[in-house]
């Protein structure tokens, strides 16, 4: 059978609707993942879904409707709680498990007396359901054992030759399957977390719980489960995936120290550049929506890559993060490890703020300090970096393997473009050197970097502390410390970032406006509070 990907025009939807009415299956976009749809009232058509997907017959399907009026064909009772939830979350990524209407064939519900029902918000899905004129049963349109598809290409990849039409609705905006929830009288039990979260339900219904299988898996396969889907591994990746609890630096240690041949990593956007092995990304750190959207595509890319072992960055677990975590746990077959007990604190601030005083205290009482000024000088003596500097600023900035700092400074600070070129060479080299140093650290580590944010090295930090001071105090310190004229000191201060720059980006701010002892006291308290909170 030839499989065609169709754009969602009215004409194409009509074609697909006709195919559905004559008992065929069709690939359908929804906001969550693509579905493999068939007429829910036609047992033979529904049988075809199981055959095409290779799905176990005891795993029931979700019935999709486009209008509340269709509910009466699907459920036998729609409680007040269900009605409130429909009003709040439909159309959208919520599947409600409700008492089943006798007209719904056994093959849809795997013989259960309940049925899963959902009204998708995707316009194309709704138009297709309406054009077919019947509720559509649809599981995710992947081959069983693959991640759910989030684009028409994913569906084509898995099911090419097994169906006539796939409607292309673009990439799914949610990216994870719907929340599946058992709806009782004034109770909700979450069987599969999704974009409608426990927190969302609690605004509507008082009694909301999450089935333990969401985080623990099914412990005893012979026991009955609330949702048959819980029993299945769902997705069996070609590589052995392992979730790593902890921050980025701890993750880097695990990945660097346990890597074998054909190892890879699944990290957050921007982190991939630190790895020499194949590195895949799933969204931004701390942004569950983007992680949800990209996770399945990333898992597919890992499957294609030939990696045998992949370490995975831990997502946040609140809100939609719980759904991301749940899918990852299953992809990892519940394999999780804890990174080394390591807490990396970034220390930054403008010149003359008293940063070095705080760093000295840290070194004496809390842990290792990685001083970026020193690292920068070391890095500038490395062959590879010298070659890059010579290529960018002229061969004469390096003579007999030694950097002419004065000449380099003259050329690099001549204008913005040259300055940026210098940063473009130095910052990555410094960050690489920091990571190399972090590989062997434990406990508390401080990265002391005046340009922590500019260099991108804050990505290595679990928290960042900025030290600020009023301009008059800073001026006085620079004059005393560096033996420069007032004019030179003011010029130096002028090229520094404003206080707001640091305040916007740091996790904590220390204002150093009185005497040194006071700064030491405040810094000591702050370092101590991080140490206590992070148990390092």
Binding residues (CB under 5 A) for Mg ion: these are: 140
> Which of these segments, 211-219, 222-230, 344-352, 409-417, binds ligand TXA (CB under 6 A)?
222-230
Q: Which of 16, 62, 241, 265 lies at the binding interface for ligand TXA (CB under 6 A)?
A: 62
Where b means 16+ CB within 10 Å and e means fewer, 405-429 reads eeebeebbeeeeebeebbbebbbbb
- Helix ranges, 121-163 (H): 123-132, 152-159
Q: Determine the number of helices (DSSP H) and then strands (DSSP E) in the chain.
A: 21, 23
Tell whether residue 175 is a contact of ligand TXA (CB under 6 A): no
- In the complex, minimum distance from the CB of residue 49 to ligand TXA, in angstroms, rounded to a whole number: 9
Q: Give the count of residues interacting with ligand TXA (CB under 6 A).
A: 27
97 binds ligand TXA (CB under 6 A): yes
N-to-C CA span, the chain = 61
Tell me which residue of 296, 85, 106, 341 sits closest to 188, measured CA to CA.
85
8-state DSSP, 147: P
62 binds, among Mg ion, ligand TXA, none (CB under 5 to 8 A by kind): ligand TXA
Q: Which does 300 bind (CB under 5 to 8 A by kind): Mg ion, ligand TXA, none?
A: none
Candidates 61, 136, 277, 422; binder of ligand TXA (CB under 6 A) is: 61
105 belongs to the binding site for ligand TXA (CB under 6 A): no
Q: Which of 8, 27, 29, 35 binds ligand TXA (CB under 6 A)?
A: 35
Other C-beta atoms lying within 10 Å of the C-beta of residue 55: 19
Q: How far is the CB of 63 from ligand TXA (least distance, A)?
A: 8
12's contact among ligand TXA, Mg ion, none, with CB below 5 to 8 A by partner kind, is none
In whole angstroms, the minimum distance from the beta carbon of 148 to Mg ion comes to 5
Q: Is 59 in the site for ligand TXA (CB under 6 A)?
A: yes
Does 353 sit near ligand TXA (CB under 6 A)? no
Residue 227 has φ and ψ, to the nearest 5°, of -135, 120
Q: Residue 150 or 512: which CB sits closer to ligand TXA?
A: 150
Residue 6 phi/psi, 5-degree rounding, is -110, 140
Minimum separation from the CB atom of position 33 to ligand TXA (A): 5
Q: Which is nearer to Mg ion, 62 or 489 (by Cβ)?
A: 62
Q: What DSSP assignment string belongs to 2-53?
A: --EEE---HHHHHHHHHHHHTT--EEE--SSS-EEEEETT-HHHHHHHHHHH
Q: Which two tokens stand for residue 116?
A: 């899963």
If the CB atoms of residues 152 and 438 are measured against Mg ion, the closer one turns out to be 152
Residue nearest to Mg ion (CB): 140
Q: Choose the contact partner of 197 out of ligand TXA, Mg ion, none; CB within 5 to 8 A by kind.
A: none
Residues 497 to 536: which contact ligand TXA by CB under 6 A?
A: none
Q: Which stretch binds ligand TXA (CB under 6 A): 115-123, 359-367, 377-385, 492-500?
A: 115-123
Q: What is the rounded distance in angstroms from the CA atom of residue 138 to the CA atom of residue 406?
A: 69
Phi then psi for residue 280, to 5 deg, are -110, 155
The binder of ligand TXA chosen from 197, 227, 353, 388 (CB under 6 A): 227
Single out the segment in contact with ligand TXA by CB under 6 A; choices: 55-63, 200-208, 285-293, 431-439: 55-63
Q: Which of 12, 32, 256, 302 binds ligand TXA (CB under 6 A)?
A: 32
Cα dihedral 285→287→289→292 (10° resolution): 20
95 binds ligand TXA (CB under 6 A): yes
CB-wise, 119 or 369, nearer to ligand TXA? 119
Residue 138 CA to residue 36 CA, distance in Å, equals 5
> For 287-290, which contacts have Cβ atoms below 8 Å and span 24 or more sequence positions?
288/315, 288/316, 288/318, 288/319, 288/320, 288/321, 288/323, 288/324, 289/320
Give the one entry of ligand TXA, Mg ion, none that residue 114 binds, where binding means its C-beta sits below a cut-off of 5 to 8 angstroms depending on kind. Answer: ligand TXA
Interaction partner, residue 112 (Mg ion, ligand TXA, none; CB < 5-8 Å by kind): ligand TXA
SS (H, E, C) 507-521: CEEEECCCCHHHHHH
Among 15, 25, 30, 150, binds ligand TXA (CB under 6 A): 30
- Cα separation, 122 vs 8, in Å, equals 12
Residue 378 Cα distances to 188, 196, 259, angstroms: 60, 51, 27
Which is nearest to 250 in space by CA: 175, 145, 337, 327? Answer: 337
Q: Is 115 in the site for ligand TXA (CB under 6 A)?
A: yes
Tell me if 140 contacts ligand TXA by CB under 6 A.
Answer: yes
Residue 95 partner contact from Mg ion, ligand TXA, none using kind-dependent CB cut-offs of 5 to 8 Å: ligand TXA
Output the smallest distance, CB 315 to ligand TXA, in A: 19
Smallest separation, CB 204 to Mg ion (Å): 26
The two tokens of residue 110 are: 């795997």
As given in the structure block, the two tokens for residue 147 are 């991640």
Residues that bind ligand TXA (CB under 6 A): 30, 32-33, 35, 59-62, 95, 97, 109, 112, 114-116, 118, 138-140, 177-178, 180, 191-192, 227-229
């Amino acid at each position: 059978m030839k499989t065609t990907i169709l754009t969602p025009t009215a004409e194409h939807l009509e074609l697909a609707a006709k195919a559905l009415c004559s008992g065929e299956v069709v690939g359908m976009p929804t906001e969550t993942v693509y579905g493999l749809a068939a007429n829910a009232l036609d047992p033979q058509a529904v049988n075809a879904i199981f055959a095409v997907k290779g799905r176990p017959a005891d795993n029931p399907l979700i019935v999709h409707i486009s209008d509340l009026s269709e509910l009466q064909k699907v459920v036998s009772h729609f409680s007040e709680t269900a009605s409130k939830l429909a009003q709040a979350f439909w159309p959208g990524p919520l599947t409600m498990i409700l008492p089943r209407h006798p007209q719904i064939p056994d093959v849809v519900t795997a013989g259960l007396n309940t049925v899963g029902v959902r009204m998708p918000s995707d316009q194309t899905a709704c138009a297709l359901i309406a054009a077919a004129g019947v509720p559509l049963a649809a599981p995710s349109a992947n081959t069983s054992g693959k991640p759910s598809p989030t684009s028409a290409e994913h569906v084509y990849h898995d099911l090419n030759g097994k169906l006539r039409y796939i409607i292309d609705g673009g990439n799914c905006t949610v990216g994870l399957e719907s929340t599946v929830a058992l709806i009782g009288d004034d109770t909700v039990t979450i069987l599969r977390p999704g974009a409608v979260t426990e927190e969302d339900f609690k605004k509507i219904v008082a009694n909301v719980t999450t089935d333990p299988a969401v985080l623990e898996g099914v412990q005893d396969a012979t026991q009955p489960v609330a949702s048959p889907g819980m029993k299945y591994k769902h997705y069996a990746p070609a590589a052995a995936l392992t979730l790593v609890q902890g921050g980025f630096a701890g993750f880097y240690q695990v990945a660097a120290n346990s890597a074998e041949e054909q190892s890879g990593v699944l990290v957050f956007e921007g982190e991939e550049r630190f790895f020499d092995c194949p590195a895949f990304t799933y969204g931004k750190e701390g942004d569950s929506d983007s992680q949800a959207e990209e996770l399945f595509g990333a898992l597919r890319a890992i499957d294609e890559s030939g990696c045998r072992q992949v370490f995975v960055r831990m997502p946040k677990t609140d809100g939609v993060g719980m759904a991301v975590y749940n899918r990852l746990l299953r992809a990892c077959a519940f394999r999780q490890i804890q990174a080394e007990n390591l807490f990396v604190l970034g220390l930054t601030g403008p010149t003359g703020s008293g940063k070095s005083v705080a760093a000295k205290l840290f070194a004496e009482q809390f842990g290792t300090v990685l001083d970026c000024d020193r690292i920068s000088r070391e890095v500038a003596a490395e062959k590879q970096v010298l070659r890059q500097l010579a290529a960018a600023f002229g061969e004469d900035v390096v003579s007999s393997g030694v950097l002419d700092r004065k000449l380099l400074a003259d050329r690099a600070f001549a204008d913005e473009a040259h300055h940026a070129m210098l940063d473009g060479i130095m910052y990555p080299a410094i960050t690489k050197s920091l990571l190399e140093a972090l590989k062997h650290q434990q406990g508390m580590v401080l990265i002391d970097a005046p340009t922590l944010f500019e260099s991108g090295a804050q990505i290595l930090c679990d928290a960042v502390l900025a030290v600020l001071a009023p301009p008059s105090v800073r001026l006085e310190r620079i004059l005393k410390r560096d033996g420069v004229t007032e004019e030179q000191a003011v010029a130096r201060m002028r090229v520094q970032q404003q206080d707001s720059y640091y305040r916007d980006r740091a996790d904590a701010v220390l204002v150093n406006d009185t005497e040194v002892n006071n700064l030491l006291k405040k810094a000591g308290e702050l370092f101590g509070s991080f140490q206590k909170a992070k148990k390092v």
